[in-house]
Structures are given as C-alpha cells and as structure tokens.
A and B are shown apart, each in its own frame.
Chain A
Amino acid sequence: MAKDSAVKKTGAEILVECLEKEGVEYLFGIPGGVNLPFFDKLYDSKIRVILTRHEQGAAHMADGYARATGRVGVCVATSGPGATNLITGLATANMDSIPLVAITGQVRTDVIGSDAFQEADATGCTRPVTKHNYLVKDVRDLGRIMREAFHVASSGRPGPVHVDVPVDIQRAAVEFSYPEKVSIRSYSPTVQGHPLQIKKAVELISQAERPLFYVGGGVVLSGASDLLRQVAEKAQIPVATTLMANGTMPYDHPLYMGVLGMHGKYATNTAMQKCDLMIACGARFDDRVTGNLAKFSPNSKKIHFDIDPANIGKCVQVDVPVVGDLKLVLQDLLDNLPGKDHSAWIGQIREWDREHPFSYDKNGKGPGEFVKPQFVIHKLHELTRGEAIISTGVGQHQMWAMQWYPARSPRHFLTSGGLGTMGYGFPASLGAKLAFPKKDVICIDGDGSFQMTMTEMATAIHEKIKVVVIILNNYYLGMVRQWQELFYKERFSGSCLTTGSGMRTKDNEPDPNSLPYIPDFVKFAEAYGALGLRVTRNEDVEPALKRALAETRPVIIDCVIRPNEKVFPMVPAGAGLDDIIVDMA
C-alpha cells in the first residue's frame, strides 16, 4: 500500500478527494453555514464550482450534465432551505432515472433534532424522491458512503442519491484511505437477461408478423441505442420511441417511425394498437403512452425488457418479461435473432403517417401576424440538422419540441418526462453546455416554465455558458389553457400570464408592441448582459435563429405566438389510443 494511505484527513478533504477520484468536473450549488468546511477545501481543488442562484437550478444543471454525458451529476447545498430547495430537482431526476449525487451540509450531530438554526430533516425530505440517501454520523463512514453513493446512483436503474453531512463531520479528522471497492450486500442489480426468457423472446419475435419496438428512456440510460438500431435492422422491426427516447434512432432512419404517446404520431399510436407483438425496451407503460389501459393494444403479445423488475407487470401484464441491462439483453437478441422481412407492415405504418403526419398551418388565420411555434422548431431543426442538444420546459412547447425536433443521436433531448417539471429546461441546458462547449445547446421553453428558473441567467453570464433560450411565448400556461379550451368550456381560470397587460382586449391576442408582456424578456436579457431578440413574424425566425447560433453571449429569443395554438394529435386523458384526435376540424 502507498505510504500516504493512512494519512489523517478531515471530512471536508475526504469529500473533495472522493469527488476527484470519481472524476467529477463540475459541482453545482450554493454554500451556507454548514457546508463551509467543504467549500473551503473546494477552493484548492480543480473541480469547477458553478455557483447557481437557486438550489433547484443546481440540481437541474447537474441533471442536464448527467443526461447529456451519461455520467453522474453532482450538486451541493447547505442545510435547511438549501436542502429543501433541491427537492424538485431530485424528484425530477428520480422519476427519469438520472444519476445524481447531492451533498448537503447538516447542523452539528450533537444538535440534530433540537430545531437548530437552518435545521431540516433533510434525509427525511429526500427519502421518497431519491434512489437512496445517507446521513453521515461518523467521519469514518464518509469515504465508504461517497463511494457507495456514486455506485448506487450510476448502476442498475440509475437515480439520485443524497448524502447529508453534518458540519462537525466535515471538520473531524480521521485516518483515511480511499476505499478501492464497493460492496453492498443487499444491492446487486440483475444485469444479464435470463437465457430462457431471451429464448422465449426470440421465438416470439421470429413468429411475429407485425412486431413493433416500443422504446423508452432506459435504452438511452443503458447506452444501448446503437445496439437497438442493429437489432432493428437485422430483424427489420420498426421502432417507435417515447418522449424520453428521442434520438435513440436517428430521425431519418428508414425503420424509425417516430414518437408515440399522448401527443405522438397517429401512425405510431395506431401501430401500437395494431401490432401483433410489442417489444418494450426500457419503457414503463406510462399512462401518457398507453392511454386507457383497458383499450391498450388488445391483440398483441408483449415482451418487456427492463432493468427494474418492479416495472414489469406494474401497469400491463406481459407475455415475456426479461429483467436485465438493455445493453446485454439487446446483444443477446442481436446474436440470436434471424433476419426477417416486414416490409408490408412497415409500409402500412408509413401509409398511416402519410394520412396523418405531424402538420401545421403555415399561415395561421386570424387578425395580426404571429409566429407559428412548430415553424420555429422546424427551422431550428433544419439549421442545426437535428444535431443540437435540446432541453425543454413542460407544456405545449415541450410537445412541439418533441414533434418537430426528432434528434439524430441519444442524449440530445433533455426533458422532464416523468415528473413534468416546469423550469427544468434552462438550468439543464447550462449543465449540458458545460459538458459539451462546442455543441449548440438550445432550450425550447415556455413563458411560464422559463419564469420558474430564469434567475439562472446570472449563472450563465458569470460562468460564460452560452446557450440559446427560445421562448415560445403564448402569454399563457398554454397546456393548461389547451385543456381548459377543450374540456372546461373555455374558462381560462388562472392560466393567463399577463392579465391586464400585454393582451389586446378586443380579440384577446398578444400585442407585443403597444402593451408589452411582463416581464419584457428582451429587456430581461439585456439587464443581464445577454442578447435579447423578439420575433413576431415567421419571416424573422430564420435570421433570429442564425444570429442566436452565431452569438457568443447567452441569447433569449422571445417568439410571440397565438395563445390558442394547440398541440395535436392528442389522446385525451383516459381515452384509448384509438380515440386519438388528429386535429380540431
């Protein structure tokens, strides 16, 4: 053993050393009373601390970094309010199985439980929204716990892990050597698919006439996108993806049928209903995908590949469940599947898509001229060839982004699918841009979502993180408005973001010129030293996008769109996939 293996180190030094050994490049967060010993040691470390303006931003940045790279994202907060501010970010990561390690300071161990200043039961708060968490009560456990935290976060079904470190533990010194191995007796995820189950799956696939891959975010997480493509090509099986799996197949691949689910394609949703074999890969039969379960794909056999046994049989009973890492399972399939021709079936899906493609009316009707939201994203796709890293907020703009920005590669479409967290997009884009400084990173956001975390513009400016934020500004919580228009008799209760200003009262349309929206996003950008552009006509979209892409500062493009734009197609909540509404006509 090396001579320095038993040198005395403080808890704070151990934390830094563990992060360095894990290869952590960035640490997102905010200091406070009880994590100062840790921050003091970070001062001498090569880990770059990104000071965020809110801990939610820190968690989302770490998450954006993790989704873009596949590595563990790390964030840090102080006790009490710092820790509670992280919760939304941890819950977001938890629902989408994103590997994070969150480190919080905690009050001294001897005052825990006394309602000390800035004390909160942080592990109690994060328990239901993390994969695992730890309260460190003895500095001798700290190294092991950090090692375990990274291991648990990144293995099996990934997820966020929280480590709560009281300030006296950060100060305490102990003889320390970095634990080379992790072993947790009660934790060993199944990674290899059971050979018998694989055999059954191969048999079903070989017999199927109309097989369909239903691909979810698990394929991205496992790094199995390329294998999936190879399996699809070998067995000539068409592929439909969920929101979370945008980019697992190159968007222009002949076997890629597009996105499915509530606002997915008519063709893919119809194919889900009509296939005779559904092969679910790293997907969990979410209600936004299946619609009404009683009507869901009634005549198909189903195979389900997933790393998490608890996902299997949770919503839908399947014929062949296979628990394992998609990377290994798909390799088994590739080795064992015979080639086959399904051109008639593929042609049928293509035909459905020709009947009802994603579409929009390029010259929106009504008074005034407005930008078409779909057009903005369509143009962006064209200019960036589908190769930019996109992040989104939650709402209509997110669905338009999914429809009109099919990505070329995995890890290029960052969105809060499971929790549906408004405010995710902007900070996530910052984390992704730090990981990939040479790539175009663009946040397609809503005016409501952006306002939830726009405070991180200061972080973007100070840390010189150039991203483009495209706000599809409909002056509304648009998705809420859409539901109110369709299902609540146009009673727009609590969904207009500008009541009393910004709207022309006569025809209830935005009036960006005489009555500005609050806040004025262009002035907001300028106040921070970013570039702000406003676009109110389709012909101004392309020049604005080009200018934004060429700019070196962060950019906000405020695209003013009609409030009554709607996302179609749509499977209404509770309806079956067959009841998909193609559009309003």
Chain B
Amino acid sequence: MKQRPAEPKHTLSVLVENKAGVLARIAGLFSARGYNIDSLAVGETEDPSVSRMTIVVQGDERVLEQVEKQLNKLIDVIKLSDYVQTPHLERDLALIKVDADKADRSELLQIVDIFRAKIVDVSADSLIVEATGDEDKIEALIGMLSPFGIRELSRTGIVAMARGGKSLNT
C-alpha cells in the first residue's frame, strides 16, 4: 500500500473552563467531526477555574481551520492558540519499564545517561526509566530501549508553552 504523506502536526493550547464534562465535550467534538487527535493532555492552570489542554492534531490547513473554529464555538473554550508558527517548547513525559538482566544493566544506564533520563525504580530484573523531552527524543529513547524488552510504557502526551514573556491568557 502506498503511504500518504503524513499531514503536518499542530500543537494547540486550549484554555477551558475547569468544569465537569468539558473534556467529554472536546473529545466528542473531535470524534463527531472525524478529526484525529495524536495526544491530549489536561491540567489545572495558575487560575484554578481554568484548565489547559494541549492537543496535538494532524491535518491540512483547512482541517485545522475547522478544528480551531469548532473549538472556539464551544461555550466552555476560553482561548485557543495553534503553535505551528510560534516558537514554543514541547514536553512529553514517559515512564518506561524495561527488562534489565544483570548483563544489560550497564548498557541501559549508559543509554539513560545519554538521553538525560532517570532511573526511578529498580527490581531484580527490570528498571523504570523516566524521561522528559519533545516527542522525537522520547521516540528515540523508546527505540533504543525496545531491544531490551519494554514491559510497559506510559506517556503523558505533549504539553506546550510559547517561548518568551507572553502568556496565552493575555
């Protein structure tokens, strides 16, 4: 099968009311209109009545225009920004449980070191690695660790913030 060229990824930061049902509303919008979410991360902001969602979505310009307009239409959406043209930081946090025989440990430690990741738990035959970074870095680390055997992987999804002094809610 011929692979279609991947559509560009957009990282959206969305400020929403911190209320029950808002997450369902946003997730429902994406499924109802057939948009693809790559990842979605939510958390409270400096204002406890406001949550911030970071949504990574794939699509061409027209799809993105619709995504943003439809999101803005939701009564609970306060503010939205697409970082595609904005210098910004992206961070994903991963916990990776890897097989770790005595024989493999030193090699594993080296890899973890190179990626500036951390070992946060150890058992007789496994390790949990904690890593933060942008998506590429996490993917690369996973690539390096998978030959050892990944037992479990848990990721937060991307959170993002624009560089510089300006904040999203001003």
- Give chain A's interface residues, CB within 8 Å of chain B: 123-124, 127-128, 131-132, 135, 137, 152, 184-187, 308-310, 313-314
Chain B residue nearest in CB terms to A123: B21
Q: How far is the CA of A313 from the CA of B25 in the complex (A)?
A: 23
Given known contacts A132-B75, A184-B75, is B62 in contact with A313 (CB within 8 Å)?
yes
> At the interface, yes or no: B17 with Cβ under 8 Å from chain A?
yes
Please, how many angstroms separate the alpha-carbon atoms of A187 and B20 in the complex? Answer: 18
Measured as residues with beta carbon below 8 angstroms from the partner, the interface class of chain B is: 10 to 19
Residues of B within 8 A of A314 (CB): 66
Q: A310-B70, A314-B66 are in contact. Are A124 and B76 (CB under 8 A)?
A: no
Kindly state whether residue B28 has any CB partner on chain A within 8 Å: yes
Given A123-B21, A309-B73, A310-B73, 9 more A-B residue pairs with CB atoms under 8 Å apart are A127-B21, A128-B28, A131-B75, A135-B20, A184-B75, A186-B75, A186-B76, A313-B65, A313-B66
Query: Can you identify 12 A-B contacts, CB atoms within 8 angstroms?
Result: A127-B21, A128-B28, A152-B75, A185-B78, A186-B17, A186-B75, A186-B77, A187-B75, A309-B72, A309-B73, A310-B66, A310-B69
Query: Is B24 part of the contact surface with A, judged by Cβ < 8 Å?
Result: yes
A162 to B152, CA, bound (A): 42
Q: In the complex, A473 Cα to B76 Cα: how many Å?
A: 47
In the bound complex, CA of A287 to CA of B18 (Å): 37
CA distance A128 to B32 in the complex (A): 8
In the complex, chain B residues 10-65 whose Cβ is within 8 Å of any chain A Cβ: 17, 20-21, 24-25, 28, 32, 62, 65
Residues of A within 8 A of B24 (CB): 124, 127
> Which of B20, B69, B76, B78 meets A309, CB within 8 Å?
B69
Contacts of B66 in A (CB 8 A): 310, 313-314
Q: Which residues of A contact B79 (CB under 8 A)?
A: 186
Residues of B at the A interface (CB closer than 8 Å) are 17, 20-21, 24-25, 28, 32, 62, 65-66, 69-70, 72-73, 75-79
**A186 touching B78 by the CB < 8 A rule?**
yes
A128 to B27, CA, bound (A): 11
What are the nearest 5 A-B pairs in CB distance?
Answer: A310-B69, A186-B78, A132-B75, A187-B75, A309-B69
Tell me the complex Cα distance, A124–B20, Å: 11
Q: For the complex, what is the distance from the CA of A179 to the CA of B78, rounded to whole Å?
A: 22
Q: Please, which residues of chain A bring their CB within 8 A of the CB of B21? A: 123, 127, 135
Q: For the complex, give the distance between the alpha carbons of A127 and B25 in Å.
A: 7
Q: Which residue of A lies closest to B73 (CB)?
A: A310
Contact yes or no, A127 B75, CB < 8 A: no
Looking at the assembled complex, report how far the CB atom of A164 sits from the nearest CB atom of chain B, in whole angstroms. 10
> Which residues of chain A come closer than 8 Å to B77, judged between CB atoms?
186
Q: With the chains together, A137 CA to B19 CA distance in Å? A: 11
Kindly report which residue of chain B lies nearest to residue A317, judged by CB atoms.
B62
CA distance A343 to B168 in the complex (A): 53
Per a CB cutoff under 8 Å, which of B28, B72, B78 touches A127? B28
User: Shortest CB–CB separation between residue A161 and chain B, in angstroms?
Assistant: 9
Q: In the docked arrangement, what's the CA distance between A314 and B63, Å?
A: 9
CB nearest to A157 among chain B residues = B73
Q: How far is the CA of A127 from the CA of B77 in the complex (A)?
A: 15
Which A residues are in CB contact (< 8 Å) with B32? 128
What is the bound-complex CA distance between A314 and B70, given in angstroms?
11
**B81: shortest Cβ distance to chain A, in Å?**
14
Residue of B nearest to A133 (CB): B21
Closest partner residue, chain B, to A314 (CB atom) = B66
A135 to chain B, nearest CB (A): 7
A575 to B76, CA, bound (A): 40
**Residue among B21, B28, B70, B75 with max Cβ neighbours from chain A (10 Å):** B75
B13 to chain A, nearest CB (A): 15
Min CB distance, A149 to chain B, in Å? Answer: 11
In angstroms, Cα B25 to Cα A124, docked, is 9
Q: Which residues of chain A have C-beta atoms less than 8 A from B69's C-beta? A: 309-310
Nearest-neighbour CB distance to chain B for A354, whole angstroms, equals 40
For B65, the chain A residues whose CB sits under 8 A away are 313
Tell me the nearest residue of chain B to A310, going by C-beta.
B69
Q: Which residues of B contact A310 (CB under 8 A)?
A: 66, 69-70, 72-73
> Roughly how many angstroms separate A135 CA and B72 CA in the complex, as a whole number?
21
Complex Cα distance, B64 from A314, in Å, reads 11
A141 to chain B, nearest CB (A): 11
